Structure 1
């Protein structure tokens, strides 16, 4: 089984490492030629949870812009593709290029994006029954182009909106087995949207505030004012969920705080983007929530203020 991975950020490289360890053929697609060259020549290094270092010297890596030609020349079309790029990279050009890649008729595209709204956009070029939604709580940090730290083990959930044909359902089970072979705790879910919205709630509370205050996750719990700000955001998000008919778990607030404690030293992905001067995923997280709030005529001033603040930090924002 050939497993393509698009996106060589921290989590993409983490899954690449696990799949290689399990003896699965991985074809890795990077954003830049430079990173692909480094991975091919120097390999991939992972600092594991126990502090040990794993190094994979044989990494088949290519820049994504060469994907169509490489796949065509290889005669090995896409079977399973894990999409690990951030929402900010899902431009119309990228999506069109992704949809044009040679692929098997029963191929699967597994989407690991934070936030919501991307599945609808991908459906313009990929059949809905071939799109698998993925939610993971695995945590990793990329410290160099070919070196990551596995910061925290978690659970991966896979699911779909549509009832696919029997052949595609079989492939989803194969995918789930492959991820478990690779050392990830992976499960199939009949309620994947609930899990996506649960993670969205956590991201909507933690990511913008850490990016605004420029602090690691655990420091959100260090003062009463920070906790109150988190609570204000949480209450607004759950009010949007209630109006939209999205379930909220009874222990959702406790889970938000638990994530802060369990990832106390982690830099959120949004804060990392701000520190690196990159565009953030604020539009696919808080922006999507604001669109839902507007649809229900809800007043959510804290959400709107956070959205505007993070947008103002974006060096690529054309309105600035």
Structure 2
């Protein structure tokens, strides 16, 4: 099976490097031709955060996603897994149209975005593909040069079960590929619940670390920050209850556990603010605001997160 990674950020580079390390043909379609050229020439340097092993470079094919030629798609849909790793801010209608042009009908499209709302958009825009939501707890940090990535935390990958028999058959092949690459991956009949559980955690940690300019592990260390965290958590549970979305027991403890386990990490939203980029707040906290509105509720804390993060973006 060949793997096409759409997006040259931390998650995309991590996936590409690990698949290439397992001997699988891997291509990366990047936003810029410059990054694609560097990746083609140099490969991806993969390092572990522990520093126990020396960084290793792995060869990949690469092409700008907007180039005239399709980025290294030399095989049919039955042999192709497409990993969509771009952020929600880059998931434009133009990109969806481009995917329709370059991805053969019947391919698996594995969507790794934070937030909610994108799966429905992709299914509408790409009805010829098997659109599958994916949740990962792997940690990654991209280097400034666009060709290196640090594996900052081992986790698991959960994907929704495909709706058609042909797609489920290809998913089984894909799971074997991921096992070969050392990536713990599982099919999940409860992927929606996992998506909302991750959204709950992200909607607390991401905006608050961005607002305070701190790493994940520092967030619960101050009483005022802890109070805000708890307020966002409880507001979210109220919305989930109104929407009949099941929440895992111990969700508050899960938030604190993630802060501990990723103590040295900077959230993606903090990184976006520091680099002057647009954040995913509209799809993370804004997702809860819209869901609350559908059920006649208000979400003042999530709305405040959206407003304050937007102010920082400006």
TM-score range, shorter chain: over 0.9
Is 2:20 the partner of 1:20?
A: yes
Q: Distance in 2 between matches of 1:74 and 1:147?
A: 23
SS of equivalent residue, structure 2 residue 124: coil
Q: Which runs of 5+ in 2 are unaligned?
A: none
Q: Distance in 1 between matches of 2:58 and 2:189?
A: 38
Q: Return closer, same or farther for 1:74/1:114 CA change in 2, 3 Å cut-off.
A: closer
Q: Return closer, same or farther for 1:173/1:74 CA change in 2, 3 Å cut-off.
A: closer
Q: Distance in 2 between matches of 1:129 and 1:42?
A: 32
Residues 135, 195 of structure 1: 8 Å contact kept: yes
Q: Distance in 1 between matches of 2:241 and 2:163?
A: 27
Q: Which residue of 1 aligns with 2:177?
A: 178
Q: Which residue of 2 aligns with 1:87?
A: 88
Q: Distance in 1 between matches of 2:74 and 2:283?
A: 36
Q: Distance in 1 between matches of 2:50 and 2:266?
A: 20
Is 2:163 the partner of 1:156?
A: no
Q: Which residue of 1 aligns with 2:206?
A: 207
Aligned ranges 1:73-222 → 2 under 5 Å: 75-78=74-77, 79-103=80-104, 105-127=105-127, 130-144=130-144, 145-160=146-161, 163-164=163-164, 166-222=165-221
> What per-residue deviation string (whole Å, max 9, x for no partner) do you get for residues 178-215 of structure 1?
11211111111111101000100000110011111111
SS of equivalent residue, structure 1 residue 299: coil
SS of equivalent residue, structure 2 residue 246: coil
Q: Which residue of 1 aligns with 2:55?
A: 54
SS of equivalent residue, structure 1 residue 154: coil
Residues 17, 58 of structure 2: 8 Å contact kept: no
SS of equivalent residue, structure 2 residue 83: strand
Q: Which runs of 5+ in 1 are unaligned?
A: 316-320
User: How far 1:55 moved relative to its partner?
Assistant: 2.4
User: How far 1:310 moved relative to its partner?
Assistant: 0.7
